[in-house]
Amino acid sequence: MTTGALDGVRIVDLTQMLAGPFCTMLLADQGAEIIKVEPLDGDHTRIVGPYHADDKLKAFGGYFASVNRNKKSIAIDLKQPEGRELVMRLCENADAVVENYRGGVMDRLGLGYETLHERFPKLVYATIRGFGDWRTGRSPYTDWPAYDVVAQAFGGVMAITGPDKDTPMKVGPGIGDLMPATMCAVGIVSAILRAHKTGKGQFVDVGMVDAILSMCERIVHQHSFTGGVPVPEGNHHPLLCPFGMFPAKDGHVTIAAHADTHFPILCRLIGRPEMGTDPRLATVQDRRANQDEIIAAVSAFTSQRTKQELLAHLGGQVPFAPVNDVRDVFANPHFAARDMVVSVPHPGLDGEMKVAGVAIKMSETPGRVRHRAPLLGEHTDEYLTGLGLSGADIARLRAEKIVA
> How far does Cα 105 stand from its chain's mean position?
24
Identify whether 177 is a catalytic site residue. Answer: yes
The catalytic position among 29, 95, 148, 177 is 177
Q: What's the rounded Cα separation, in Å, for the pair 47 and 63?
A: 9
* Distance of alpha carbon 389 from alpha carbon 83, whole angstroms: 13
Q: What is the rounded distance in angstroms from the CA atom of residue 238 to the CA atom of residue 259?
A: 15
* Residue 236 burial (10 A CB sphere; 0-12, 13-18, 19+): middle
Task: Return the active site residues.
Answer: 177
